Amino acid sequence: MTSLRILVPIKQVIDYAIKPRVNATRTAVVTSGVKMSMNPFDELSIEESVRLRERNRDAVRDILAFSAGPAKAADTLRTAMAMGADRALLQGEGSDLEPLFVAKLLREVVHKEGCNMVICGKQSIDDDSGQTGQMLAGLLGWGQATQAAKVDVQGSEVVVTKEVDGGEEVVRVKLPAVVTTDLRLNEPRYATLPNIMKAKKKPIEKKTLADFSVEFGKRLETLKVVEPPPRQGGGKVDSVDGLISRLKELGAI
């Protein structure tokens, strides 16, 4: 079995339970003073990496969590380490970094750290692009398995059950590979207090953009951000007959 050095990209996003608000100048969503958490799909990535190790102690040599973004993303990397990542790397500059740019940073991390597997979320719940993993696989020339519902490392290959439209599909990808996680993959654990304490002793290496030979630049310019047109509830009916006749009035049946 190939000894795995896993890279887990982590993004700090507005907590999934919070309804985002567009700012007054209609240029972005308000993030200051808003509860931030680890992107839910990234929690699945960490969890899966840790489970790969728990299933076979010798299989996983290293779990490295990496985040690119504001300096306070360090909090989220601590959480990743409390869940079981061995160490963390933070490129703590810039915000709203585009997927292609992040993929290029990740490619450098992979090369420098000698990673042979990347497990990342299928999308971030803020930008909802769903691109980074696939872009990274393309840049590295590695195989990819997106929207994973089951991951099984067998020798020098990883067998992945993927969520696709209309059901699921199984692929066998040669390592090194990029896997992106879907919700059904696992149930992420809570970081326990002892593990949170232990995570404080684990190293976070801090980097800046200058440490990477990736030229910073945005390809997409955000012209405006608005709230979607509000939808008004149309009131209630008190019986099934009322429901049917109202649906008929609306031309829905």
Partner 1 sequence: MSICVAQTRASLLRLPHQSARSTVRSRPFTPSPRLLNTLAVLEHKDGKVSSQSFPVVTAASRFGGPVTVFLAGSGSKEVSEQAAKLNGVEKVIYASNSAYDKGLPENFAPLLVENIKRGHFTHVVGSHSAFGKNILPRASALLDIQQISDCIEIKDENTFVRPIYAGNAIATVRSTDTIKIVTIRGTAFPPAEETSDTATIEEAPIDPNAECTTVWVSENLTRSERPDLGTAPKVVSGGRGLKDKKNFDRLMLPLADALGAAIGASRAAVDSGFADNSLQVGQTGKVVAPQLYLAAGISGAIQHLAGMKDSKVIAAINKDPDAPIFQVADVGLVADLFQAVPELTEKLNAEKK
Contacts (CB under 8 A) with partner 1, residues 38-67? none
CB under 8 Å to 195, separation ≥6 — which residues? 82, 83, 84
Q: Collapse the DSSP code of 228 into the 3-class scheme (helix H, G, I; strand E, B; otherwise coil) and give the result.
A: coil
CB of 51 to partner 1, least distance (A): 18
Distance in angstroms (rounded) separating the CA atoms of residues 245 and 204: 62
Cβ proximity to partner 1: between 27 and 192 the closer is 27
Among 87, 150, 189, 246, binds partner 1 (CB under 8 A): 246
Is residue 32 near partner 1 by the rule CB under 8 A? no
- What the block records as the tokens of 44 is 């699945």
Cβ proximity to partner 1: between 193 and 226 the closer is 226
Interface pattern 172-201 for partner 1 (x via CB under 8 A): xxx-------xxx-----------------
Per-residue H/E/C for 101-155: HHHHHHHHHHHHHCCCEEEEECCCCCCCCCCHHHHHHHHHCCEEEEEEEEEEEEC
If we measure between CA atoms, which residue out of 71, 69, 65, 68 comes closest to residue 84? 65
CB of 166 to partner 1, least distance (A): 5
CB under 8 Å to 193, separation ≥6 — which residues? none
Query: Nearest 5°: phi and psi at 128?
Result: 55, 25
Q: Collapse the DSSP code of 44 into the 3-class scheme (helix H, G, I; strand E, B; otherwise coil) and give the result.
A: helix
Interface pattern 72-91 for partner 1 (x via CB under 8 A): --------------------
Among 36, 59, 74, 171, binds partner 1 (CB under 8 A): 171
Cβ proximity to partner 1: between 113 and 127 the closer is 127
Q: By CB under 8 A, how many residues form the interface with partner 1?
A: 81
CB of 132 to partner 1, least distance (A): 8
90-149: which residues touch partner 1 (CB under 8 A)? 98-101, 103, 122-123, 125-139, 143-147, 149
Interface pattern 218-237 for partner 1 (x via CB under 8 A): xxxxxxxxxxx--x-xxxxx
Is residue 242 near partner 1 by the rule CB under 8 A? yes
Cβ proximity to partner 1: between 125 and 196 the closer is 125
Q: How far is CA 117 from CA 106, 122, 173, 176, 221, in A?
A: 12, 15, 11, 5, 32
Amino acid at position 147, single letter: Q
